[in-house]
Amino acid sequence: MESMFSSPAEAALQREAGVPGLLTPLPDLDRVYELERVAGFIRDLGCERVALQFPDQLLGDAVAVAARLEETTGSKMFILGDTAYGSCCMDVLGAEQAGAQALIHFGPACLSPPARPLPVAFVLGQRSVALELCVKAFEAQNPDPKAPVVLLSEPACAHALEALATLLRPRYLDLLVSSPAFPLPVGSLSPEPKPLERFGRYFSLAPGRRLEEYGAFYVGGSEASPDPDLDPDLSRLLLGWAPGRPFFSCCPDTGKTQDEGARAGRLRARRRYLVERARDAHVVGLLAGTLGVAQHREALAHLRNLTQAAGKRSYVLALGRPTPAKLANFPEVDVFVLLACPLGALAPQLSGSFFRPILAPCELEAACNPAWPPPGLAPHLTHYADLLPGSPFHVPLPPPESELWETPDVSLITGDLRPPPAWKSSNDSGSLALTPRPQLELAESSPAASFLSSRSWQGLEPRLGQTPVTEAVSGRRGIAIAYEDEGSG
């Protein structure tokens, strides 16, 4: 009877955090995890306590790597294996709680700037790349030697891009190589001239050239992947790349290529649908999906002001990693917006198990800001920092008297005419909606209260002043499925 309503107590103790993956042979640890470079980083800083962050699939090697580094450097290592949001983000908060003076991040990383200054070293991994097969695949998809093409890769294959470009440059005249955009160390100055930074990568463009002129050749992925659409790094590139420019992906093991144009079209169509859902929404849930990435407070304030200006109500929810069960507890919310790193914001989008759609901040900006350019002209921004003032992509809200707020708008989902929003600035003292009650009392009208009043069952009635006062008596003891006064049958 108990198992029908709850899980056995032993399940919580036996549950695994994730698939640990195959263990790396001990002779290959130094090469796979670049332990010599990591040890030099620790010795140069003179750190006595260092935090090591591993994703779930690499936790099997964590103990061996920590022991090897302690033996080499003499410093104390702490393993961080319980990231609150996503393993791609630097867990600087967890490292500071352990008293660590530096953080070593292993595995794929979003390379977002941290919210707190802490020395960080990245070990992206070095996946083997069949250069000869990739060269043949590149030549087959790019017969024109004068066509501009940029080489991209998944993080674990970034080490092989220069070698691949060396084999291709004798024939191809306009070949651009991207490199990971690692956050600058604390106190260091940015190089001048600074290369273009997009999609977590650097692009050293020649003067007068634009990234939108280039096609893309992406090295990464696997033929054994069950659903390549769930790769957030590739999705970020496909959404942000210039429409109409060729984009090919190449498996680094077999050299098999695939035209990603159709997949990019599906992703963009999904984004346009999410924008329409956000325009129809009356209540928006802002999910605080990260606390370790810089400018998350400014971005949260920007999104709240954005929804208020568009005549929508917003709630800020700090739920950790979003799951369908967590978000189903808020049925009054029409759409959710995940404030996370670029990879974290795209990861859950294609899951059909969520009760309400989950948007990225860029979709909410396109839905609520009437000055935002139309689709095809506005870039899809994957990092919320690009929406804030000071960014070259920032588009300020029009003033309240602007005609943009009065432009008729028809929902492409319901076909109804959307009324213009009652524009209220964030510092307007009269922005709270007050609803008179029959007793001439005033109370703030909230979407949650409106949703509750529309339900057929609203909970137990308080019946104030109608229930006689009695002395306190001993109630039932036990748990709901097995009280002590119940029989065993």
Nearest to 140 by CA among 42, 283, 258: 258
295 or 364, which is more confident: 364
- pLDDT tens, 170-195? 899 899 999 998 877 655 556 667 78
Cβ within 8 Å of residue 24, ≥6 positions away: 32, 33, 61, 64
pLDDT at 437: 46
Least confident of 67-76, 327-336, 344-353, 376-385: 344-353
Contact 69, 35 (CB under 8 A): yes
Q: Band the pLDDT of 432: cuts 50, 70, 90.
A: very low
| Cα 170 to Cα 131: distance, rounded to the nearest angstrom | 15
Mean pLDDT of 5-12: 43
Give the residue-averaged pLDDT of 197-215. 90
The string of pLDDT tens digits covering residues 134-144 is 999 999 999 99
214-238, pLDDT tens digit by residue? 999 999 887 655 455 568 888 889 9
| Average of per-residue pLDDT across 116-121 | 85
Token pair 């991994």: residue: 125
Least trusted range by pLDDT, from 21-35, 331-345, 380-394, 452-466: 452-466
Q: Determine whether 123 is exposed, middle or buried from the number of CB atoms within 10 Å of its CB (0-12, 13-18, 19+).
A: buried
Range 289-295 average pLDDT:
77
pLDDT of residue 302: 93
Rounded CA-CA distance 206/486 in Å is 80
- Given this model, what pLDDT does residue 442 score? 46
Kindly tell me if the per-residue pLDDT of 103 is higher than 80: yes
Q: Is the pLDDT of residue 478 over 60?
A: yes
Residue labelled with tokens 């990260």: 290
pTM: 0.78
Residue partners of 40: CB distance under 8 A and separation at least 6? none
Least confident span in 217-231, 368-382, 436-450, 470-484: 436-450
d(CA 191, CA 189): 6
Predicted pLDDT of residue 488: 64
Q: In the predicted model, is pLDDT for residue 284 greater than 90? A: yes
Domains present along the chain, CATH in parentheses: 26-121 (3.40.50.11840), 129-184+192-265 (3.40.50.11850), 280-416 (3.40.50.11860)
The rounded percent of the chain whose pLDDT value lies above 70 is 83
Q: Is the pLDDT of residue 404 over 80?
A: yes
At residue 430 the predicted structure's pLDDT band, cuts being 50, 70 and 90, is very low
Residue 250: the pLDDT is 93
Q: Is the pLDDT of residue 397 over 60?
A: yes
- Looking at residue 84, what is its pLDDT? 55
Over residues 254-278, the mean pLDDT reads 90
Q: Of 279-293, 406-420, 448-462, which range is least confident?
A: 448-462
Does residue 11 have a pLDDT over 50? no
Residue 257: which pLDDT band, with cuts at 50, 70 and 90? Answer: very high
Separation CA 374–CA 247 (nearest Å): 23
pLDDT tier for residue 276 given thresholds of 50, 70 and 90: very high
Mean pLDDT, residues 143-163: 92
**What pLDDT sits at residue 3?**
40
Quick: pLDDT tens for 46-102.
Answer: 888 999 998 888 888 889 999 999 999 889 999 987 655 667 888 888 888 888 899
Tens of pLDDT, residue by residue over 19-47, are 455 688 888 888 888 899 999 999 998 88
Confidence bin at 420 (pLDDT 50/70/90): confident
How confident is the prediction for the chain on average, in pLDDT?
Answer: 81
Lowest mean pLDDT among 62-76, 146-160, 240-254, 342-356: 342-356
